[in-house]
Amino acid sequence: MMTHYLSVVRMALMLGLKRSMQYRWDFLIEGSLSLAMAALQLLPLLVLFSERSSVAGWSVNHMLVLMGWYMMVRALVEGVVAPGLAASVAGIRTGQFDYTLIKPVDSLFLCSLAELKPWKIIDFLFGLGLAGYALSRLDVAPSAVDVLLAAVLSVAGVAAAYALFVLAVAASFVLVRIQNLTNVLSSFLDFARWPIQAFDPVWRLVFSVVIPLGVMTSYPVMALLGMLSLPLAAASLAVAALFFAAARLAWSRALRGYRSASS
């Protein structure tokens, strides 16, 4: 079973790469634009820290680590998660989703790989390099436990982001005109570039539990920098697990009520 799913992932990656390189100049232009947009993400920080030395207790290097983490998460969301699930919404409306259901692979897994944007690897590598550079400038040496906890929380954060998009797509089974919700979620991700401490207590709670942006970026970075308590780390993992389970349940129930638009 695992070999079967790995072969599906491999074929999805190859198809995404071939689709992107079908028009070579478009591929190069998209890659260049991705690099330019990644660099422009730093502009707000340059403006902000030209006027102050810290934001909510985060120095410029702390913020650069967070920005790098945000870029990596965003690259995974926009390169893997969002495109395929957004295409599924259109398929539900037109009836093309029927062809997904007849394939011998889990429908949610297949939808998640339906469309890939390989050039987003540029954003991911840029974010990884930025986080590594900023971390080297900090007088902090993460322990093995800190690195492991940050890695676990990063996986949980990506799972939480994935779950939000799955919940939006599951809602489109009932409310077809809700397809723009995926665009709204993408816009909300912009808040994840800022530390959770920068928001007032009410919004901090919202961005930790209702829309778990802190789980996606702030808490993994805090764990890496030794700034996260174990109870908060456990709570972050619980929130991510809850969202993932809720998304899976919502998807299963949506499938049971699905009626083909082509019938």
Name the nearest CA neighbour of 68 among 43, 32, 46, 38.
Answer: 38
Residue 13 domain-assigned?
no
Of 23-37, 57-71, 249-263, the range with the highest mean pLDDT is 57-71
Residue 16 domain-assigned?
no
pLDDT of residue 80: 82
Residue 18 domain-assigned?
no
> Average pLDDT of 255-259?
73
Residue 174 domain-assigned?
yes
Report the distance separating Cα 141 and Cα 146, nearest Å: 9
The model's pLDDT over 68-117, given as tens digits with 9 standing for 90+, comes to 999 898 888 888 877 777 777 777 777 677 777 777 777 777 777 777 77
The model's pLDDT over 147-183, given as tens digits with 9 standing for 90+, comes to 899 999 999 998 998 898 888 888 777 665 555 666 7
Report the domain count for the chain. Answer: 1
| 4, pLDDT greater than 80 | no
Domain containing 34: what range?
A: 29-256
Of residues 125 and 46, the one with the higher pLDDT is 125
Please give the C-alpha separations between residue 58 and each of 63, 79, 132, 138, 219, in angstroms, as whole numbers.
Answer: 6, 29, 17, 12, 13
Residue 17 domain-assigned?
no
The model's pLDDT over 6-31, given as tens digits with 9 standing for 90+, comes to 676 666 666 666 666 666 666 677 76
Of residues 144 and 33, the one with the higher pLDDT is 144
pLDDT of residue 59: 86
